[in-house]
Structure 1
Amino acid sequence: MRRRRHRRDRRHSSTFRALAGTLALTAALSVTTGCKEMRIRVEDGSGKGAGHAAPAPSASLPATPAAPSSHAPAPKPPKPTHAAPKPVLAPGDRSGRVRELQARLRQLKHFDRNPTGYYGSVTAAAVTAFQRAQGLPRTGSADAATLSALRVRTQPPTRDELYPPTTRPVAAPDPRCLTGRVICISKKSDTLAWMVDGKVVSAMDVRFGSQYTPTREGAFGITFKSRHHVSTIYDTPMPYAMFFSGGQAIHYSSDFAARGYSGASHGCVNVRDKKKIAALFQQVKPGTKVVIYR
């Protein structure tokens, strides 16, 4: 009886120990699991796992602009511009004041023509040359300072200086032109002077033939005159023609009047002033001497 009870007690004691061990293991596992959950909650702060951490800021976001430096240099003010002197006389003008300007420039050898009263490219170039020599702004137009400097360095032009017979100065006459009535023509100055006993009665601009049809040089005489002549070779008008050597003549040329020295004749002596050649035509007679020289 005791042995049975003793064996039963031993079984109960063994069962109790086994149950106690199981309870102890369960408690230990519960405590370990609870610490792990606690650690997750503490690290994330939201109850979510570590794999759900907040994304890092994107690298493509614009950077905050830097504040402007207080030490940046201030912009430089624009340089002052000096307006060109206001012209008193300028290209395109036509007046007596332009004629005086040209005469004064000619006294200083800046203008190699006779005064015309027209302010063209030749006058502008002469004014520029004078301004350069005086250290003035080279504008080509005559302002007050330019005119003042010119008056100080020149004399008031005479009437002959202001109103010469041609636009080009007449060359010194050939010795053959100093006696009698002579049509004296200079290839050097491109001028014709009607001279009586060594004095110039009238003068005019002329042009000559080209290198292929040159105007002859030497002493000749007028052979015949033709008021309304037309060339039989070129079929062109030759008003107030005065022939002196074969088919070469002194005559008015509308082409010379229009184009100036950009053209040439076929050997004749062209005149561009119709009134002057008409007056000369009335005074010249057959046999009148003609001298053409360089």
Structure 2
Amino acid sequence: MGTRSARGRAGRRSAVWGGAAALALPLVVVAGGGTAEAASCTPSTGPYQRQVEKFLGRPVDGRQSAADCAAVRAFQSDHGISPAQGYAGPLTWRVMSTMLAQRAAGGTPNRAGDCPVDRGRIACVDLTRQLSWIQDGPVLRYGPVPVRTGKDGAETRTGSKRIYHRSVDHWSTLYDVSMPYAQFFDGGIAFHSTAKSMWNPPGSGGCVNMRPADAKAYWQLLAKGEDVYVYGRKPGT
């Protein structure tokens, strides 16, 4: 027992924040006054530390702290970024950069005129900013809203499309998953609802994933035969 306790004390001392060990497991207080090991959190400073700190409203000093790591890790967990260890790496910053670009779009997502607005009602999909919206000619009808498009190797194809099939309670036999409010516009590619975060990498199998409320709104506003225009390039593809 004495040897085991000595080892335990030495182990706890070696797991302090900022130590040379690869990953420390911080202790957290649990109900009843005991302790339990939290999930791993890295003490390493990532290449995008300052940018990530600024995005999260943390003190911007470019140095990883326990509080920085906890904030980054919470963000990663919320959006399915793996591993969720609090490291300010390229993937985490890519997701945040996409969010910043979406915020900058504001209420004028088609400011650059990339989506054609001379066709009446049209659903625009900007892969670069991972945004979609519906226009009635020059008038913004709905959105912009965040979307989750095809991952690397299964990219959502660009160009002019038209909705050719709608299925409000669709079941994918290919992926064995539910695809509510599915509106197909390019082969097996459709707008449809998903429970995943819109910022969950690496992306979909090609479809334009949407939050449930947005997918339902698209279902109500669009119809078979209406135009869809997809352009840009998703970050990371």
Tell me the TM-score normalised to structure 1 length: 0.43
Q: Distance in 2 between matches of 1:262 and 1:121?
A: 22
Q: Does structure 1 residue 232 correspond to structure 2 residue 232? A: no
Higher relative contact order (CA 8 A, sep 6+): 2
The percent identity for this pair of structures is 28
Name the structure 2 match of 1:268: 207
Kindly state the Cα deviation for residue 177 of structure 1 after the two structures are TM-superposed.
3.2
Aligned equivalent of 1:124: 57
The structure with the largest strand share of the pair is 2
- Unaligned 5+ runs, structure 2: 1-50, 62-66, 69-101, 233-237
Question: Which sections of structure 1, spanning at least 5 residues, go unmatched?
Answer: 1-111, 113-119, 130-138, 141-165
CA 1:195 to 1:250, structure 2 compared with 1: closer, same or farther past 3 Å?
Answer: same
Closer, same or farther: CA 123–199 of 1 in aligned 2, 3 Å: farther
The ranges of structure 1 where at least 4 consecutive aligned residues each deviate by more than 6 angstroms after the TM superposition are none
- Which residue of the other structure, out of 233, 247, 253, is the alignment partner of 2:188? 247
Corresponding residue number in structure 1 for 2:124 = 184
Deviation at 1:168?
A: 6.0
Counterpart position of 2:87: none
Please, which of 122, 134, 153 is the counterpart of residue 194 of structure 1? 134
**Alpha-carbon shift at residue 279 of structure 1 (Å):** 1.6
- Report the equivalent of 1:288: 226
SS of structure 2 residue aligned to 1:201? strand
Kindly tell me: are residues 186 and 207 of structure 1, through their superposed partners in 2, closer, same or farther at Cα, counting changes over 3 Å? same
CA apart distance, 1:178: 4.3
Which of 163, 166, 170 aligns to 1:222? It is 163
Check conservation: 1:240, 1:251, Cα contact below 8 A: yes
Task: Measure, in 2, the Cα distance between the counterparts of 1:232 and 1:265.
Answer: 15
Q: 2:150 corresponds to which residue? A: 209
- Answer whether contact 1:174 1:184 (CA < 8 A) is retained: no
- Any residues of structure 2 matched to 1:1-294 within 5 Å, and which? 122-124=55-57, 128=60, 167=103, 169=105, 170-171=109-110, 172-203=112-143, 204-256=145-197, 260-272=199-211, 274-294=212-232
**How far apart are 1:241 and its partner, in Å?**
0.5
- Which whole-Å CA distance do the structure 2 matches of 1:227 and 1:121 have between them? 41
1:9-58 deviation digits (Å, cap 9, x = unpaired): xxxxxxxxxxxxxxxxxxxxxxxxxxxxxxxxxxxxxxxxxxxxxxxxxx
For 2:200, what is the secondary structure of its paired residue?
helix
TM-superposed deviation, 1:236:
0.7
RMSD: 2.7
CA distance in 2, matches of 1:198, 1:123: 35
